[in-house]
């Protein structure tokens, strides 16, 4: 099964946030008991040059190819971190992505997807990008996975706390209303438009 290539965080991450995003699925049920490659493959986000250089110096890379290098340690199965230095609209920027090295094209396909996404002239966010940003930015205490309180077909899906009268409750991340999504996004991202259909 091929995972979609997806942006999981808006903005340039600092070191603490970068390490959190490396394993934003840490609380998943049955961790290590199933093949979790699909959870990670294709996830990407922007980092600062300092973090890019720090990761390059930690261990000798598995390989270096032009504007990218791969980490020697694998996240799961054949999934590992690939770091990119890309010139986009005349600006040098840095990115992290999880690539499936069982497919030699994966690092290049992810690179091309990042460049295509970031070259868009109008800053916009798809619904899926909003959902992923909320999951990435929510503290572990306020997110989780559907348990026995949810219908059987929803168990194991991602949940986040929502505030409602008279209290709070967990709701499926994928089922958040547009209003709930807006309330959970940082103020500077709330009013970004949806991308126009091609």
Q: Which of 17-21, 31-35, 175-179 has the lowest mean pLDDT?
A: 31-35
pLDDT band for position 99 (cuts 50, 70, 90): very high
CA angle 4, 98, 178 (to 5 degrees): 45
**Averaged over 96-103, what is the pLDDT?**
93
Residue 31 has pLDDT above 70, yes or no: no
Tokens coding 13: 């991450």
The domain total for the chain is: 2
- Could you tell me the CA-to-CA distances from 160 to 31, 143, 174 in Å, in that order? 19, 4, 10
What pLDDT score was predicted for residue 69?
A: 94
Has residue 48 got a pLDDT over 90? Answer: yes
Same domain, 28 and 65: yes
Both 17 and 40 in one domain: the answer is yes
DSSP string, 59-102: S--SEEETTEEEEEEEEETTEEEEEEEEEETTEEEEEEEEEETT
pLDDT of the residue at 24: 83
Instruction: Tell which of 65, 88, 118 closes a domain.
Output: 118
pLDDT single digits (tens) 105-118? 999 999 999 999 99
Crossing angle between the packed helical segments 15-22 and 49-58, to the nearest 10 degrees: 60
Q: 96 and 33, same structural domain? A: yes
73, 164: one domain: no
What is the rounded average pLDDT of the residues 46-72? 91
C-beta of residue 54 within 8 angstroms of C-beta of residue 42: no
* Closest by Cα among 83, 24, 23 to 50: 83
130-174 residue pLDDT tens: 888 888 888 888 888 888 888 888 888 888 888 877 778 888 888
Sign of CA dihedral 156, 159, 164, 167: positive
The average confidence (pLDDT) of the chain is 85
- Which residue range forms the structural domain that includes residue 61? 6-118
* Residue 106 sits in the same domain as residue 131: no
Whether the pLDDT of residue 32 is over 70: the answer is no
pLDDT at 97 (0 to 100): 96
Residue 104 and residue 14 share a domain: yes
pLDDT, mean of residues 24-29: 78
Same domain, 60 and 114: yes
């Amino acid at each position: 099964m091929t995972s979609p290539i997806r942006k999981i965080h808006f903005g340039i991450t600092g070191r603490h946030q970068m390490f959190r995003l490396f394993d934003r699925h840490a609380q998943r049920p049955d961790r290590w008991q199933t093949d979790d490659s699909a959870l990670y493959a294709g996830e990407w986000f922007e980092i600062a040059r300092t973090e890019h250089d720090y990761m390059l110096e930690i261990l000798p890379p598995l390989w270096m190819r032009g504007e990218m290098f791969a980490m020697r340690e694998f996240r799961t199965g054949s999934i590992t971190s690939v770091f990119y230095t890309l010139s986009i609209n005349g600006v040098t920027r840095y990115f992290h992505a999880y690539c499936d090295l069982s497919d030699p094209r994966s690092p290049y396909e992810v690179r091309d997807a990042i460049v295509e996404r970031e070259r868009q002239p109008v800053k916009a966010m798809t619904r899926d990008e909003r959902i992923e940003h909320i999951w990435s930015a929510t503290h572990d205490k306020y997110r989780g996975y559907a348990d026995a309180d949810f219908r059987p077909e929803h168990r194991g899906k991602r949940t986040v706390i929502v505030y409602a009268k008279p209290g709070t409750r967990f709701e499926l991340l994928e089922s958040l209303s547009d209003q709930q999504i807006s309330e959970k996004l940082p103020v500077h991202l709330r009013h970004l438009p949806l991308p126009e259909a091609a």
